[in-house]
Structure 1
């Protein structure tokens, strides 16, 4: 299977959260091996802490696939780090022989969380206070605290200060990067809006200007043809040829005008325009094309209607050029503030390297990312293109 996913922000929180949970789950065998070698007698009791660690990390990982977790991943990250830190402190309270190792692990946890997550200084301070306070409480409540406990606590506090400072520096960097991404997205939206407006103008000029002029020429030629006497048969035949040529040119201009900017998209909305698009595609290429929708409003924000229509156009173009498919299915669904487009075909799929043929994906990705959405392309039996867009905005063009 070849798949490619593109998102609006490279520093998106959910992928980083999933990476962090996988790392936390992956270190369990390492520490289990260490305890098996050095604390074999205590291992049965320590398995409780390993179990809690797996439960906390696993629950955070599963939460990233739920709607609630996707809406508030920042809360999931906070609960994950606080839960892991609390469990490590409980582990240290149970086995206080090596406070330096526990302090090092907690310091690494605070620093890595500062690198992974774009937390506010207040949120990171909460993590540091919980971590350092829990470590101090665990050490002070041990009957015979090891001599190195005070040194380990000092190292941990120093690590918390460094982690907090690093979090602020990284936070500023990420804010600047997010601001630049937003500026680029806004610029991209402006350019695409200008392009669509120019297409609309050209479509109108072709249809209402040149198209109507050629239609008038065709009517004049037909009138002349009808008034010519039968004796001028050759001249009448040439007039008929000119009339048919003008009619074909008018039809081609209308088709070009529809490709530039379908009037049905502005007049009636997305679904009727997609139905017309799929019907024309089926007639032109002989590929069976079906369209389905679920929960899609009659009208959507103009930017979303245009983006979805252009994505479907590009996907169908790719099917016609590369897929050698017999069937294409386009499905639209709207649920909880999100619009999901899926285009499936039963063609040959993507090349072995998984690359989308041509440069069409670049345009699709730019359109979708500019609206805060994501693109997924997968190939197993045929090709599947999935676009997810947040539903927001008004009907402004």
Structure 2
């Protein structure tokens, strides 16, 4: 005889649907800050609380990160500095069990709050655990009717998924750090190969000019002209390295302004003309996509200016009807045969560009031929 399934009541079904929506909302992002924000908003929405917060502790008695939901930016600024790990918060960050209170103000550990802090009563706190390690804690307050056993069970499940989402986000950011370290190593290698060799040639040429100055002034002048040329090339290389090492201001300025600024600097640093154009229809993309677009643009510009001997490079960025963006970089350089490059085992950064495009959910196409320049186009979807 089979086991008869018991139908879910309306409350249980509604809770599962809400929990599923909350898990999906916080699992579709890779940036740690955005994951924390999604967890906090999802927890507040799931349980119908007026206020929510999520704290990640540091090693000095404070919070490395503290995210709130249900509080306006103006209210948050008025509250003041981030809280320290004391009172009820300290309890939550050092115990692996949840805390549910009818009135947080009556708790023995309660120490009050700043004057601009909203008044809170009923409280539910849930640690986010990775095994026995406490990654952080979710704080909820002020639910009409108070928090129930059912609420606590839902939040416990959400916190378990939050642990996975947060761990994935941290791994992603770590991989980005390693990628950045690799790029810096590449730049250092380029610096050694290009600038160091030019400076070495410059020194030898200057010595030759010095020995020729008295007995052959005409040849000495020619050598000094070569010194000037080598010095100019070395200066161009150094300027480019400085640009590549400078942190991109995506968070502060956005993709369009950051890309325009870098193109402007490259235009000044190189004898080639580097131009940028945007239609003004590019919407804000998710951080991971904006970073991918910028890095691919940098790699393509690097190839055009250093390897293709281009005299003109045109960079365009356009918005799409699906709220995505299309990046196009075209140069009039010497071009190459993509098939021959692959067969020869050379990459010109194409592998890393394609990997970045794939990670961002985008599509990269490349068109090139000897003597006909190169066009690289990247399309990324909207949020």
The two structures share one fold, judged by TM-score above 0.5: no
Structure number, greater radius of gyration: 1
- TM bracket, shorter-chain basis: 0.3 to 0.5
Higher strand share: 2
Higher helix share: 1
Q: Per chain length, whose mean CA-contact separation is higher, i.e. which structure has more relative contact order (CA < 8 Å, sep 6+)?
A: 1
With normalisation by structure 1, the TM-score equals 0.36
